[in-house]
Amino acid sequence: MEKRDKIAVYPGTFDPITYGHIDIITRASSIFSKLIVAVAKNSHKDPVFTIEERVSFLKNSLDHLDNVVIDSFDELLINYLKKVKADVIIRGMRVVTDFDYEFAFAAMNKKLAPEIDTIFLMTSEKYSFISSTLVKEVVRFGGDVSGYVPEIVIENLRKKLNR
Ligand code: COA
């Protein structure tokens, strides 16, 4: 498929990145000429990993995708998109319970910047139940999350969370 000559931004907290996110990133990167994965500082979620750590896990896991750039932001998402001259927001939709939050998020962003659209990709079925919170919970109690997050994330989660 011919890639669209548009810049897309995939924003999130990525605390930490999972294969569910990587699935969305891989598919979006095959549609758009450039995809910026934008890591939100998002202190209200009280992330386990610092912004530098989250960015470095993303870089480590995505360096095979040559049209993907990793960046961070700490402002209104729409202002960040304008700054990097992006056209589209990418969001993943896992299950129906994501819909209400995503609907409000997309609607507010559309109100703030009518020229920017949000495009949803359905998360692949095998990752549809994963969340960063669930992964952290399993590791905290010694469970196995291989197959759901990259190896570098597992090592660092164990260091941070294992008691
Ligand atoms: N696979 C696996 N997990 C997924 C996923 C997928 N495809 N898609 C989402 N998730 C999970 C995430 O891991 C995360 O899990 P968690 O809550 O356990 O941490 C959860 O779904 C939602 O996370 P995400 O999609 O990353 O969004 P977020 O809520 O962490 O981030 C921002 C939201 C940062 C994009 C948003 O708050 C933002 O833009 N902030 C900037 C300020 C702003 O503009 N606010 C909005 C005004 S309308």
Q: Taking the model in full, what pTM does it have?
A: 0.94
Distance between CA atoms of residues 130 and 123, nearest Å: 10
Q: Report residue 98's pLDDT band, with 50, 70 and 90 as the boundaries.
A: confident
Q: What is the mean pLDDT of residues 58-86?
A: 97
Q: Which atom of ligand 1 is nearest to the CA of 109?
A: 48
Q: Is 158 a catalytic residue?
A: no
Catalytic-labelled residue, pool 29, 61, 91, 132: 132
Determine if residue 25 is left, alpha or beta; phi over 0 gives left, psi from -120 to 50 gives alpha, anything else beta: alpha
d(CA 11, ligand 1 centre) in Å: 7
Please say if 43 is a catalytic residue. no
For the segment 135-157, the average pLDDT, to the nearest whole number, is 95
Phi/psi at 154 (5° precision)? -60, -50
pLDDT mean across residues, the chain = 94
3-class secondary structure, 52: helix
Q: Which domains does the chain have, with CATH numbers?
A: 4-130 (3.40.50.620)
